[in-house]
Amino acid sequence: MATTQPFDPSIYVSLAFLFGIAAQFKAMDGYTLLRSLVASFERKLGIVMAVAAVTFLFSPFLLNDVLVLILTPVVIRYARHNSIDPVPLIVAEVTLTNVSSSLTPIGNPQNILLWTASGVSFSGFVEGAWWLVLLSAALSAAALVPFARRAGRAREMPTPIKNAFPAVYLALVVALPLLADFAGIKPYVALGIAFVLGFPFTFRALRQVLKEFDFRALVVLYLFITAVSLASIALASSLGPAVDPVAEGVQPYGGIFMGAVSNVISNVPATQLVLNTAHVSAEVAPKLAVAAGLAGNLGPIASFANLLALQIAGRNGVPVRRTLLLQLAVGLVSFIPALI
């Protein structure tokens, strides 16, 4: 049993840059871009599938928590304005953000941990995860079809795009880690460059960038990672027999383990627990990322994105219990690829 470094500084730096990239996107008025795209898809797919499609397209390249913060108020307002049930919209958003954020190393925090610790390349990460992500997305969409039919089609949300800066910036964010693979540049360096490249787009709104940077969430994430690292060091000998098969990619054991542990301590700490107890190879890392991401659909605390969505929903009078029940039903279906 080989353990990773308990406190790899590059992980903390990478997460800070990832939060910075999210802040840049929000400061560029990424909200308007996402809402306009929802409107465009809604005319062809209906609102439930439109929310699912936009979420699926953007979550691999933007922190899933940020996407939830932007989209959840949009779908709730839309549901109220058009007198439709907001619950399927929120479930479609949360489910697909947990699914598609598993596709790339920058889609969510646990992927950053796996990317940095395993040494897998950006392209290798995508190659190892894409078919599982697509399968889960297809299963999730199939489970949402009955609710999509009830919600109906084209009611339209007229929101013209003010500028293309957010889309251009996200394209740069994706391109840089890919180029870094070929140049042998460390992931945290590529993310740092991506963060800095946002400033030409936001130099007139630097205060907004600072405002949008979620320092509190980043600190909480740091504390979680550090606490789990310390606990795993102390319990390494006893945890080894349970964790080693997960790190080796043994299925369906690995998926069941990530699903169970994530719903006790959340998927980011669960991932850190595995990384601090056993070595995860570049081949296994993408599959473990998928298992951790899909585990987020099984319960309210399994993913921070779930907690954010439920908090916003509760504040706006959306029935949280019914949302949780539908989330669990769709989540169980979406979780099947995590066992493969």
To the nearest whole percent, how much of the chain has pLDDT over 70? 94
Residue 272: what pLDDT?
87
Q: What are phi and psi of 197, to 5 degrees?
A: -65, -10
State the residue for tokens 């946002």: 198
* Rounded Cα–Cα distance for residues 155 and 47 (Å): 8
Which of the pair, 256 or 311, is modelled with greater confidence? 256
Average pLDDT value for residue range 217-236? 78
Structure pTM? 0.87
Reading the block at residue 20, the tokens are 């910075």
Average pLDDT value for residue range 62-83? 83
Q: Could you tell me which of 135, 114, 134, 136 has the C-alpha nearest to residue 125?
A: 114
* Rounded Cα–Cα distance for residues 219 and 211 (Å): 15
Average pLDDT value for residue range 67-76? 85
pLDDT 10s digits, 171-202: 898 888 888 878 888 888 988 999 999 999 99
Residue 57: what pLDDT?
93
Residue 114: what pLDDT?
94
pLDDT 10s digits, 88-133: 999 999 999 999 999 999 999 899 989 988 989 999 999 999 999 9
- pLDDT at 286 > cutoff 50: yes
Residue 312: what pLDDT?
86
The answer to whether the bond into 88 is cis (omega within 30° of 0) is: no
Average pLDDT, the chain: 88
Residue 90: what pLDDT?
95
* Rounded Cα–Cα distance for residues 37 and 45 (Å): 12
- pLDDT at 68 > cutoff 70: yes
Q: Could you tell me which of 49, 68, 48 has the C-alpha nearest to residue 58?
A: 68
Average pLDDT value for residue range 251-267? 93
User: Contact at 8 Å (CB) between 33 and 166?
Assistant: yes
* Rounded Cα–Cα distance for residues 269 and 272 (Å): 5
Distance between first and last Cα of the chain:
24
Residue 3: what pLDDT?
45
* Rounded Cα–Cα distance for residues 243 and 78 (Å): 44
Reading the block at residue 12, the tokens are 């903390």
Residue 49: what pLDDT?
93
Identify the top-confidence range among 27-31, 66-70, 248-252.
248-252
